[in-house]
Structure 1
């Protein structure tokens, strides 16, 4: 089930009021109500939240609706997990806690930390299947992640840049980016994410108190559990990390999960699927998302899906969609 805490909409009503937006029909169209949002810990349909944000941005003619919500967010809005995050000894360990409690924050949002050449890319990736347009939710996720990192490291949080895949918005809309982010902001990028030095992940949290961190974990353990992930969910997360590097083979995924290939195969069969089916499903989902990015060449998309050549990617695409990648991209552009 695709669920998210209703706290994901913290700041929604104040932004809507600021923009003089009538939220009643928007809530109704999304299948939500004010009563459903009264408790921040209430789990609500994630797709409904995405629809509400997109519809609200359109109705108010405000491209930065999600960012305006992020400006009103605090670490405490993550609920009890914020206590544990605030006292982790390093930023890397705080990010690990976010991954650990993913199922109790947002079941469809995956935090990915990709390291290369002394750099680290922090990405929040939505895993909706089938995918859906969620620019406002993606903006909100990146901005909230930035604010969380700044809360943990204080003055030590100095990202190299923050990137967005969409083109630069009008100058009047870029003010909010300048207010939110203390670093260069790049538009038309190949990814949405925050670029930092790898050493940033090891920077100490000046507010960390080991005793309080231990106390927070025990407290959370009595009230909230991380949410046991299925084997399929674990495999999906590993594939998403390994896929762009062309390493999403079953052997590598099994090593990542600390089990043998035969054990992984058996557990997937127990859940009614196979590794090949999971990998193919993720590629089908991701190729649609990549096609929407006009700057990606087909060769780039092939590599991001783990194919060493355009020919191999084209054969896979034709087998799954009964058309060529070029035809598929043209069809996506016409939507």
Structure 2
């Protein structure tokens, strides 16, 4: 299976695109991404589709610095739950080490490695997309994001010794020099950031020693295996695609960067089918949504991918033995006194 990335990797993509005069929805749909699903930061999307989207956006906006402009809008919190743990690490070295050991928790195609020699530290950044394709914008987004993380720890005035890219230089270097300083090189042997090794031992001013143990305990409770199963990935994709009304095995396979036969084969090996996962996911979500009296049944039917309330009601009765409205009334009646 090809790598996935969290929706947060495209944080502020819509706003940036609109500011540059291009239509983000049209471009997203052209690579099989759902504009509505993008608002859920912790959902996963195809890494290949995300990289393609950035290339198309750069071309449409005539901005070779599109990925870098997007990186400039990133926030520390866009790393997701792991950001809560990293901010409590005692120094830059341990924070970067934790971030790179668990990169699969926020971006499965990103590979970062730090080495030290002659007083310098080199942070090399690579992407493993699973296929040969242009990914200039994704690389610049990744380097820009790492640069922003380092500045979070080292201060807004911190500058690297140099920033390197394996691809050729853009026509306009102004954005690169504004963000990285004047020591930006292209057509280099690696993509990454070179900085003083002593920066790695800089104490983390954000860290609170009293909170570190709590942060580590929290991290242990949320940490997942690097070997995420195919059913888990399919389940994630189903949940993302249901509200779009386009939750088919073809769309899920496309989002995962494979064909439908590959999805069928992996699910069969786990004793599952696409239909069984779709129904199980819908059932779990329906139970949560219908129990909330603030959501209308029409709204819920759309969130679960039904074309209308009648189809949703028939399906719900088959699963729960009553209509959604009757089931909701029964649940409200079972709540302890004083609860809505």
Matched residue, 2:61: 60
Matched residue, 1:72: 73
Structure 1 distance, partners of 2:224, 2:59, is 35
Matched residue, 2:196: 197
Structure 1 distance, partners of 2:32, 2:156, is 41
Matched residue, 2:226: 228
Matched residue, 2:138: 137
Structure 2 distance, partners of 1:16, 1:135, is 17
Say yes or no: does 1:5 pair with 2:3: no
Say yes or no: does 1:209 pair with 2:215: no
Q: Secondary structure at the match of 2:41?
A: coil
Residue 8 of structure 1 deviates from its aligned partner by: 0.4
User: Deviation digits for residues 117-167 of structure 1, max 9, x if unmatched?
Assistant: 222210121112223210000000000000001101226844211112223
Say yes or no: does 1:38 pair with 2:21: no
Q: Give the 5 Å matches for 1:305-324.
A: none
Aligned residues: 227
Q: Is the 8 A contact 2:29 2:35 kept in 1?
A: no
Structure 1 distance, partners of 2:63, 2:182, is 23
Structure 1 distance, partners of 2:176, 2:150, is 17
User: Deviation digits for residues 167-216 of structure 1, max 9, x if unmatched?
Assistant: 3322xx32211222246212222221100122221221122222222222
Matched residue, 1:27: 28
Q: Secondary structure at the match of 2:54?
A: helix
Q: Which has the higher contact order (CA 8 A, sep 6+)?
A: 2
Q: Is the 8 A contact 1:103 1:226 kept in 2?
A: no
Q: Give the 5 Å matches for 1:277-316.
A: none
Matched residue, 1:305: none
RMSD (CA atoms)? 1.8
Structure 2 distance, partners of 1:68, 1:103, is 24
Q: Is the 8 A contact 1:162 1:183 kept in 2?
A: no
Q: Is the 8 A contact 1:114 1:120 kept in 2?
A: yes
Matched residue, 1:181: 180
Q: Secondary structure at the match of 1:122?
A: strand
Q: 1:27 to 1:155 in 2, by over 3 A?
A: closer
Q: 1:207 to 1:148 in 2, by over 3 A?
A: same
Q: Secondary structure at the match of 1:200?
A: helix
Q: Secondary structure at the match of 1:167?
A: coil
Q: Is the 8 A contact 1:5 1:42 kept in 2?
A: yes
Q: 1:153 to 1:52 in 2, by over 3 A?
A: same
Structure 2 distance, partners of 1:155, 1:22, is 32
Residue 90 of structure 1 deviates from its aligned partner by: 1.2
Residue 220 of structure 1 deviates from its aligned partner by: 3.2
Q: Is the 8 A contact 1:165 1:188 kept in 2?
A: yes
Structure 1 distance, partners of 2:111, 2:55, is 20
Gaps of 5+ in 1: 231-335
Structure 2 distance, partners of 1:118, 1:39, is 42
Q: Is the 8 A contact 2:112 2:126 kept in 1?
A: yes
Say yes or no: does 1:112 pair with 2:113: yes
Structure 1 distance, partners of 2:204, 2:124, is 21
Residue 38 of structure 1 deviates from its aligned partner by: 1.8
Q: Is the 8 A contact 1:11 1:70 kept in 2?
A: no
